[in-house]
């Protein structure tokens, strides 16, 4: 699925946002239905650590907001989301540009809506793999998000 004019503008806006921009990471693609996002973190003078690989803070900072913003856009104003926790596991040093793909499917959205209709709140976890140019996993990140219904927006 290709980007729409709306998601292309959204991507440009995110990439100009100072908190994301300073990580060195860039969003390279947002699908027109907002269910797929691709990011990259290049190895350059802004992202390089003392030993010449990508700094872990740059990796995590680039990944941090993506799932939360995706779900906020996909679920709409009837729901409140917060980052609950995150873990990052380094498998190998990032010696080249790293890429990550984020995806949310309709089934996941339906599970969240049904759970919130029944319980009012839930926590869900999502994994992201940062892969190098040889498609080898360098970093595994797990994000846990807290979802709840927004009673004010109802």
| Tokens of residue 111, six digits | 């599970």
In angstroms, the CA 8 to CA 71 distance is 18
pLDDT at position 122, please? 97
Q: Return d(Cα 57, Cα 62) in angstroms, integer.
A: 8
* CB 147 within 8 Å of CB 123: yes
d(CA 60, CA 40): 12
Q: Where are the alpha helices (DSSP H) in the chain?
A: 5-16, 18-21, 56-63, 66-75, 106-119
Q: How confident is residue 58, by pLDDT bands cut at 50, 70 and 90?
A: very high
End-to-end Cα separation, the chain, in angstroms: 32
Q: Domains of the chain by range and CATH?
A: 5-149 (3.10.129.10)
CA 53 to chain CA centroid, Å, is 21
For residue range 123-149, what is the model confidence (pLDDT) as tens digits?
A: 999 999 999 999 999 999 999 999 999
The answer to whether residue 154 scores a pLDDT higher than 70 is no
């Amino acid at each position: 699925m290709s980007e729409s004019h709306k998601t292309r503008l959204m991507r440009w806006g995110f990439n100009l946002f100072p908190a994301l921009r300073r990580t060195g990471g860039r969003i390279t693609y947002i699908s027109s239905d907002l269910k797929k996002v691709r990011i990259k973190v290049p190895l350059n003078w802004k992202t390089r650590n003392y030993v010449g690989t990508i700094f872990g803070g740059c990796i995590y900072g680039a990944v941090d907001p993506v799932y939360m913003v995706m779900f906020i856009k996909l679920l709409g104003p009837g729901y409140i989301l917060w980052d609950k926790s995150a873990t990052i596991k380094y498998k190998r040093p990032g010696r080249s540009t790293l890429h990550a793909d984020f995806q949310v499917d309709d089934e996941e959205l339906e599970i969240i809506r049904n759970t919130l209709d029944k319980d009012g709140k839930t926590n869900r976890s999502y994994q992201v793999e940062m892969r190098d140019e040889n498609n080898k996993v360098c970093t595994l990140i797990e994000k846990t998000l807290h979802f709840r219904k927004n009673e004010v927006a109802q």
